[in-house]
Protein backbone atom coordinates (compact mmCIF):
# COMPACT_ATOMS: atom_id res chain seq x y z
CA UNK A 1 0.00 0.00 0.00
CA UNK A 2 2.87 2.39 0.75
CA UNK A 3 4.59 1.59 -2.54
CA UNK A 4 1.37 2.19 -4.47
CA UNK A 5 0.75 5.48 -2.67
CA UNK A 6 4.18 6.87 -3.45
CA UNK A 7 3.98 5.65 -7.05
CA UNK A 8 0.67 7.48 -7.51
CA UNK A 9 2.11 10.64 -5.98
CA UNK A 10 5.16 10.45 -8.22
CA UNK A 11 2.95 10.02 -11.29
CA UNK A 12 0.99 13.10 -10.26
CA UNK A 13 4.17 15.08 -9.46
CA UNK A 14 3.01 15.59 -5.87
CA UNK A 15 4.80 15.21 -2.56
CA UNK A 16 3.62 13.01 0.29
CA UNK A 17 2.27 14.59 3.45
CA UNK A 18 3.04 12.20 6.31
CA UNK A 19 1.19 13.04 9.54
CA UNK A 20 1.99 11.72 13.00
CA UNK A 21 -0.73 11.05 15.60
CA UNK A 22 -0.22 9.72 19.13
CA UNK A 23 -2.75 6.92 19.67
CA UNK A 24 -5.05 7.77 22.56
CA UNK A 25 -4.26 11.50 22.56
CA UNK A 26 -5.97 13.65 23.62
CA UNK A 27 -8.22 10.65 24.27
CA UNK A 28 -9.15 7.42 22.49
CA UNK A 29 -12.16 8.75 20.57
CA UNK A 30 -10.45 12.01 19.66
CA UNK A 31 -7.42 10.26 18.22
CA UNK A 32 -9.71 8.04 16.16
CA UNK A 33 -11.52 11.11 14.84
CA UNK A 34 -8.15 12.72 14.05
CA UNK A 35 -6.91 9.71 12.06
CA UNK A 36 -10.17 9.65 10.10
CA UNK A 37 -10.10 13.40 9.51
CA UNK A 38 -6.49 13.60 8.35
CA UNK A 39 -7.09 11.50 5.27
CA UNK A 40 -9.83 13.89 4.15
CA UNK A 41 -7.57 16.84 4.97
CA UNK A 42 -4.89 15.66 2.54
CA UNK A 43 -2.60 13.31 4.48
CA UNK A 44 -1.01 10.66 2.26
CA UNK A 45 0.41 8.53 5.08
CA UNK A 46 -0.48 8.53 8.78
CA UNK A 47 2.03 7.50 11.43
CA UNK A 48 0.16 6.09 14.41
CA UNK A 49 2.35 6.43 17.47
CA UNK A 50 2.27 3.74 20.15
CA UNK A 51 2.54 5.49 23.56
CA UNK A 52 5.66 4.46 25.47
CA UNK A 53 6.88 5.26 28.97
CA UNK A 54 10.40 6.26 27.92
CA UNK A 55 10.21 7.93 24.48
CA UNK A 56 13.81 9.12 24.39
CA UNK A 57 13.73 10.24 20.73
CA UNK A 58 10.68 12.43 21.23
CA UNK A 59 10.51 16.04 22.30
CA UNK A 60 8.32 17.49 25.06
CA UNK A 61 5.13 17.74 23.01
CA UNK A 62 5.04 14.09 21.93
CA UNK A 63 6.39 12.93 25.28
CA UNK A 64 3.51 14.69 27.04
CA UNK A 65 0.95 13.28 24.59
CA UNK A 66 2.35 9.79 25.10
CA UNK A 67 2.15 10.07 28.89
CA UNK A 68 -1.41 11.37 28.73
CA UNK A 69 -2.41 8.45 26.53
CA UNK A 70 -0.70 5.95 28.84
CA UNK A 71 -2.40 7.46 31.87
CA UNK A 72 -5.73 6.90 30.14
CA UNK A 73 -4.90 3.24 29.51
CA UNK A 74 -3.76 3.27 25.89
CA UNK A 75 -1.70 0.24 24.83
CA UNK A 76 -0.32 -1.24 21.64
CA UNK A 77 -3.46 -3.38 21.32
CA UNK A 78 -5.53 -0.24 21.82
CA UNK A 79 -3.51 1.41 19.06
CA UNK A 80 -4.30 -1.46 16.71
CA UNK A 81 -7.97 -1.15 17.65
CA UNK A 82 -7.89 2.51 16.60
CA UNK A 83 -6.23 1.51 13.32
CA UNK A 84 -8.91 -1.09 12.64
CA UNK A 85 -11.77 1.23 13.55
CA UNK A 86 -10.36 4.08 11.45
CA UNK A 87 -10.60 2.09 8.23
CA UNK A 88 -8.15 4.58 6.78
CA UNK A 89 -8.12 5.16 3.04
CA UNK A 90 -4.43 6.11 3.28
CA UNK A 91 -1.58 3.87 4.50
CA UNK A 92 -1.00 3.65 8.25
CA UNK A 93 2.50 3.24 9.66
CA UNK A 94 2.84 1.97 13.21
CA UNK A 95 5.39 4.20 14.96
CA UNK A 96 6.81 2.41 17.99
CA UNK A 97 9.74 1.72 20.23
CA UNK A 98 10.91 -1.89 20.35
CA UNK A 99 9.76 -2.87 23.85
CA UNK A 100 6.00 -2.53 23.22
CA UNK A 101 6.36 -4.75 20.15
CA UNK A 102 8.24 -7.43 22.05
CA UNK A 103 5.74 -7.33 24.91
CA UNK A 104 2.85 -7.76 22.46
CA UNK A 105 4.00 -11.20 21.34
CA UNK A 106 5.39 -12.80 18.17
CA UNK A 107 2.11 -12.42 16.26
CA UNK A 108 1.93 -8.65 16.72
CA UNK A 109 3.05 -7.89 13.15
CA UNK A 110 0.35 -10.11 11.70
CA UNK A 111 -2.25 -8.56 14.01
CA UNK A 112 -1.12 -5.11 12.93
CA UNK A 113 -1.53 -6.02 9.27
CA UNK A 114 -4.97 -7.43 9.99
CA UNK A 115 -5.86 -4.12 11.63
CA UNK A 116 -5.01 -2.27 8.43
CA UNK A 117 -1.44 -1.19 9.18
CA UNK A 118 0.86 -1.07 6.14
CA UNK A 119 4.24 -0.23 7.65
CA UNK A 120 6.30 -0.21 10.83
CA UNK A 121 8.88 2.28 12.06
CA UNK A 122 10.87 1.28 15.15
CA UNK A 123 12.73 4.27 16.55
CA UNK A 124 15.29 2.38 18.62
CA UNK A 125 16.28 -0.47 16.28
CA UNK A 126 19.07 0.80 14.02
CA UNK A 127 20.42 -1.33 11.20
CA UNK A 128 22.71 -4.04 12.53
CA UNK A 129 21.77 -3.57 16.18
CA UNK A 130 19.79 -6.80 16.52
CA UNK A 131 19.83 -8.94 13.35
CA UNK A 132 17.41 -11.51 14.76
CA UNK A 133 14.70 -8.97 15.55
CA UNK A 134 15.41 -7.01 12.39
CA UNK A 135 14.91 -10.23 10.44
CA UNK A 136 11.64 -10.90 12.26
CA UNK A 137 10.33 -7.49 11.21
CA UNK A 138 11.85 -7.54 7.74
CA UNK A 139 10.28 -10.92 6.93
CA UNK A 140 6.90 -9.89 8.31
CA UNK A 141 3.87 -8.44 6.53
CA UNK A 142 4.68 -4.75 7.16
CA UNK A 143 6.99 -2.46 5.22
CA UNK A 144 10.00 -1.81 7.47
CA UNK A 145 10.46 1.97 7.37
CA UNK A 146 13.99 2.97 8.36
CA UNK A 147 15.43 6.15 9.88
CA UNK A 148 18.47 8.02 8.59
CA UNK A 149 20.22 10.80 10.52
CA UNK A 150 22.02 13.76 8.91
CA UNK A 151 25.32 12.49 10.36
CA UNK A 152 24.91 8.99 8.89
CA UNK A 153 27.90 8.11 6.64
CA UNK A 154 26.98 7.62 2.99
CA UNK A 155 27.99 3.94 3.04
CA UNK A 156 25.64 3.31 5.95
CA UNK A 157 22.87 5.27 4.20
CA UNK A 158 23.13 2.77 1.35
CA UNK A 159 22.87 -0.15 3.78
CA UNK A 160 19.81 1.35 5.48
CA UNK A 161 18.14 1.99 2.12
CA UNK A 162 18.71 -1.61 0.99
CA UNK A 163 17.33 -2.94 4.26
CA UNK A 164 14.22 -0.75 4.40
CA UNK A 165 10.82 -0.65 2.76
CA UNK A 166 8.03 1.79 1.98
CA UNK A 167 10.08 4.95 2.34
CA UNK A 168 13.11 6.24 4.21
CA UNK A 169 12.52 8.72 7.02
CA UNK A 170 15.32 11.29 7.00
CA UNK A 171 15.71 13.07 10.33
CA UNK A 172 16.41 16.67 9.39
CA UNK A 173 18.45 17.46 12.50
CA UNK A 174 20.02 15.82 15.53
CA UNK A 175 18.18 15.80 18.85
CA UNK A 176 14.55 15.03 19.64
CA UNK A 177 11.33 15.73 17.79
CA UNK A 178 9.70 19.14 18.04
CA UNK A 179 8.72 22.20 16.04
CA UNK A 180 11.54 24.49 14.89
CA UNK A 181 11.49 27.99 13.47
CA UNK A 182 13.96 27.23 10.68
CA UNK A 183 15.07 24.28 8.58
CA UNK A 184 18.71 23.19 8.91
CA UNK A 185 20.95 24.80 6.27
CA UNK A 186 22.63 21.50 5.39
CA UNK A 187 19.35 19.72 4.61
CA UNK A 188 19.62 19.99 0.78
CA UNK A 189 23.11 18.46 0.84
CA UNK A 190 21.99 15.63 3.12
CA UNK A 191 19.05 14.83 0.84
CA UNK A 192 21.32 14.85 -2.21
CA UNK A 193 23.74 12.48 -0.48
CA UNK A 194 20.94 10.08 0.48
CA UNK A 195 19.34 10.17 -2.98
CA UNK A 196 22.60 9.06 -4.54
CA UNK A 197 22.42 5.71 -2.71
CA UNK A 198 18.69 5.17 -2.14
CA UNK A 199 15.91 4.15 -4.53
CA UNK A 200 13.15 4.42 -1.93
CA UNK A 201 11.09 7.62 -1.52
CA UNK A 202 12.67 10.08 0.93
CA UNK A 203 10.51 11.76 3.55
CA UNK A 204 11.93 14.44 5.84
CA UNK A 205 10.78 15.12 9.40
CA UNK A 206 11.82 16.50 12.80
CA UNK A 207 10.99 20.18 13.08
CA UNK A 208 8.57 20.88 10.20
CA UNK A 209 5.92 23.06 11.80
CA UNK A 210 4.43 25.47 9.25
CA UNK A 211 2.95 25.47 5.74
CA UNK A 212 5.95 27.40 4.40
CA UNK A 213 8.37 24.86 5.86
CA UNK A 214 6.31 21.98 4.47
CA UNK A 215 6.45 23.50 1.01
CA UNK A 216 10.19 24.12 1.27
CA UNK A 217 10.88 20.52 2.30
CA UNK A 218 8.51 19.24 -0.38
CA UNK A 219 10.57 21.05 -2.99
CA UNK A 220 13.56 18.94 -1.92
CA UNK A 221 12.19 15.55 -0.89
CA UNK A 222 9.48 13.07 -1.84
CA UNK A 223 7.55 13.67 1.34
CA UNK A 224 7.22 15.79 4.46
CA UNK A 225 6.67 14.40 7.98
CA UNK A 226 4.85 16.60 10.49
CA UNK A 227 4.36 15.42 14.05
CA UNK A 228 4.73 17.72 17.03
CA UNK A 229 2.86 20.59 15.40
CA UNK A 230 -0.15 18.32 14.72
CA UNK A 231 -0.06 16.81 18.22
CA UNK A 232 0.11 20.29 19.72
CA UNK A 233 -2.84 21.46 17.63
CA UNK A 234 -4.83 18.34 18.58
CA UNK A 235 -4.31 19.16 22.25
CA UNK A 236 -6.34 22.30 21.66
CA UNK A 237 -8.85 21.05 19.09
CA UNK A 238 -9.22 18.09 16.74
CA UNK A 239 -10.91 20.33 14.17
CA UNK A 240 -8.04 22.76 14.52
CA UNK A 241 -5.48 20.02 13.91
CA UNK A 242 -7.35 18.87 10.81
CA UNK A 243 -7.53 22.45 9.57
CA UNK A 244 -3.79 22.83 10.14
CA UNK A 245 -3.13 19.75 8.01
CA UNK A 246 -5.33 21.23 5.27
CA UNK A 247 -3.11 24.32 5.31
CA UNK A 248 0.00 22.15 4.96
CA UNK A 249 -1.51 20.31 1.99
CA UNK A 250 -2.56 23.55 0.33
CA UNK A 251 0.92 25.01 0.68
CA UNK A 252 2.55 21.87 -0.71
CA UNK A 253 0.17 21.82 -3.69
CA UNK A 254 0.30 25.51 -4.50
CA UNK A 255 1.67 26.31 -7.98
Give me the active site residues, please: 47, 58
Q: Does residue 214 have a cis peptide bond before it, meaning omega lies within 30 degrees of 0?
A: no
Q: How far apart are CA 63 and CA 11, in angstroms?
A: 37
Strand partners, 21: 48
Q: How far apart are CA 142 and CA 176, in angstroms?
A: 25
Phi, psi angles (nearest 5°) of residue 15: -105, 145
Residue 84: is it exposed, middle or buried by C-beta count within 10 angstroms (0-12/13-18/19+)?
Answer: middle
Would you say 40 and 243 are in contact if contact means Cβ atoms under 8 Å apart? Answer: no
> Sign of torsion, CA 180 181 183 185?
negative
CB atoms within 10 A of CB 70: 16
Close Cβ partners of 99 (under 8 Å, ≥ 6 residues apart): 52
Residue 81: is it exposed, middle or buried by C-beta count within 10 angstroms (0-12/13-18/19+)?
Answer: middle
Amino acid sequence: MLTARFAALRAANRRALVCYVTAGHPDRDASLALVQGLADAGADVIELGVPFSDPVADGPVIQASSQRALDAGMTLDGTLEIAARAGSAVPLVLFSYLNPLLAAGPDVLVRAAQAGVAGLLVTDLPVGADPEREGWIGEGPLAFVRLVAPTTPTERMALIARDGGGFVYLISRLGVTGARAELPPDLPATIERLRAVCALPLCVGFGVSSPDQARAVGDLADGVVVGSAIVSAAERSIDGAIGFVRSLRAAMDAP
